[in-house]
């Protein structure tokens, strides 16, 4: 990444460079308990609730704070050893077509992505996953113990987003050191960037070989707790 950013700043990239995926494996990122609950769908009012639990379709029973904390501790313990932290990325010079749309290593024509990448001269494209272990655990509990299944869903989402945030922080820091700026990451499925770009994007990243990520007929990724994203560099 450092060499790419140095050449991007110096203006020495030609756009003809071979795109080679870089594979990273991370240690367990720090766990964010409040984010687990947020991804599980708990509104702030519920998280602050006191007194007896009440019925709620999304959780079957809204617990007191103490009960929620106990359940969350149990889920965190239950999920131990179920996660991997793997990420693959590529760096590329960013060109534009006659209409000003960004030219990427996969076909797209997104107005929202065009706006996101305004003033960018390069991109970092990534895929990340925390593996299939959490999916198996969710399937085991979501029907028999919906409350546990919901918290496992939240934990899986928190884990993969924290993994991507960790990488994003590395990109931000590297860009700052170079006097460059990383734009907010943007993923297929946001705005008008369709998820139909996923096959080309994952092929570019060798995601099946390196990360074990595959797509179904509806373009949904497996493992489900996987993320693809584009980070513009300006």
Say if CB 202 and CB 213 are below 8 A apart. Answer: yes
pLDDT band at 34 (very low <50, low <70, confident <90, very high): confident
User: CA 136 → CA 57, 79, 133, 144, 199, distances in Å?
Assistant: 23, 11, 5, 14, 24
pLDDT at 58 over 90: no
pTM of the model: 0.89
Question: CB under 8 Å to 180, separation ≥6 — which residues?
Answer: 5, 8, 9, 233, 234
| Burial zone of 151 (CB within 10 Å; 0-12 exposed, 13-18 middle, 19+ buried) | buried
- What is the percentage of the chain residues whose pLDDT exceeds 70? 91
Distance CA 132, CA 226 (A): 9
Q: Which DSSP category does 22 fall into?
A: E
Contact 212, 132 (CB under 8 A): yes
Give residue 105's pLDDT band: very low, low, confident or very high (50, 70, 90): confident
CA dihedral defined by 229, 223, 138, 151, rounded to 10 degrees? -20
Mean predicted confidence (pLDDT) in 151-158:
96
How high is the pLDDT of residue 133? 97
Higher-pLDDT residue of 166, 59: 166
Residues contacting residue 60 through CB under 8 Å, at least 6 positions apart: 146, 147
Phi, psi for 209 (deg, rounded to 5): -70, -45
Mean pLDDT, the chain, integer: 90
Q: What are the tens digits of pLDDT across the range 63-77?
A: 557 788 888 999 999
Answer yes or no: is pLDDT of 9 > 80: yes
Angle at 22 between CA 83 and CA 209, to 5 degrees: 60
Q: What is the CATH number of the domain that holds 74?
A: 3.40.109.40
Compute the distance between CA of residue 123 and CA of residue 140 in angstroms, rounded to an integer.
39
> In terms of pLDDT, which residue wins out, 43 or 26?
26
Confidence label for 107 from pLDDT (cuts 50, 70 and 90): confident
- Mean pLDDT, residues 2-7: 94
Total domain count for the chain?
1
Tokens read off for 22: 């870089």
Would you list the DSSP string of 30-67?
A: PP-HHHHHHHTT--HHHHT--SS-B--TTTSSB--HHH
pLDDT at residue number 59: 42
> Which of 28-32, 136-140, 221-225 shows the lowest per-residue confidence on average (mean pLDDT)?
28-32
Structural domain for 29, as ranges: 2-233
**Per-residue pLDDT tens for 133-150?**
999 999 999 999 999 999
């Amino acid at each position: 990444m450092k060499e790419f950013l140095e050449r991007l700043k110096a203006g020495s990239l030609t756009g003809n460079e071979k795109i080679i995926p870089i594979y990273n494996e991370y240690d367990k990122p720090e766990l964010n308990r409040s984010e687990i609950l947020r991804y599980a769908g708990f509104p702030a009012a519920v998280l602050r609730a006191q007194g007896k639990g009440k019925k709620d379709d999304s959780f079957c029973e809204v617990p007191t704070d103490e009960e929620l904390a106990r359940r969350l501790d149990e889920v965190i313990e239950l999920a131990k050893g179920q996660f991997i932290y793997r990420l693959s990325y590529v760096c590329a010079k960013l060109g534009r077509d006659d209409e000003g749309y960004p030219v990427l290593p996969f076909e797209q024509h997104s107005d929202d992505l065009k706006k996101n990448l305004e003033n960018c001269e390069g991109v970092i494209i990534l895929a990340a996953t925390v593996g299939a272990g959490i999916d198996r655990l969710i399937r085991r509990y979501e029907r028999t113990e919906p409350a546990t299944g919901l918290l496992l869903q939240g934990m899986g989402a928190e884990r993969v987003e924290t993994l991507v945030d960790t990488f994003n922080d590395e990109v931000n820091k590297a860009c700052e050191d170079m006097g460059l700026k990383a734009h907010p990451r943007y993923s297929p499925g946001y705005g008008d960037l369709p998820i139909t770009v996923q096959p080309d994007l994952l092929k570019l990243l060798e995601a099946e070989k390196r990360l074990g990520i595959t797509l179904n007929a509806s373009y949904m990724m497996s493992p489900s707790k996987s993320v693809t994203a584009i980070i513009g560099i300006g």
